Chain A
Amino acid sequence: GQNIDQPTEMTATEGAIVQINCTYQTSGFNGLFWYQQHAGEAPTFLSYNVLDGLEEKGRFSSFLSRSKGYSYLLLKELQMKDSASYLCAVRDGDYKLSFGAGTTVTVRA
């Protein structure tokens, strides 16, 4: 099976930066996704990486290193509304999407 690891919880202060790491071991690789999920709501798409490097979208950036099986999601200028669960998902060689258990980020004033 596929193995995707990310920390369970992280806490940070409003205005700060938080980096959520994700490591994966999959049979083949066809892209890595990050989703945000607020409590009781649908996961919503944040970013997609298929090539090595950094993708930036406003306050959120995502990085991928395929050789290391590693990605991170960087959240800058944290706001209270960023308190949510962040899901790392990897599409394997058969185009199946597998999810990590999610990282719950709590932003404190």
Chain B
Amino acid sequence: ILNVEQSPQSLHVQEGDSTNFTCSFPSSNFYALHWYRWETAKSPEALFVMTLNGDEKKKGRISATLNTKEGYSYLYIKGSQPEDSATYLCASARGSYKLIFGSGTRLLVRP
């Protein structure tokens, strides 16, 4: 994998459903993996910065895992709420502060 890829591109779920998305990134020269939550007309909000293989992080109903050897990270949202509707971006930091972003997963949670 040469680029950062996210799937799915968009996702519509019902309130209360749990969901997850994937971020794939180059495993060579890995420094850190970032997850951001981006609501329309607002600044992207940092969710997690993950650096260690096997790392798992949690913030409320949102959690993320990291596999640096195979180059993927999963973001999980438990019991989705309408306020979780946003675009979720992942970015790989390779060898420096330089972030390479995926194109995001747009989540819409229906009430």
Q: Do A and B come from one complex?
A: no
A residues sitting closer than 8 Å to B (CB atoms) are none
Give B contacts to A, CB under 8 Å. none
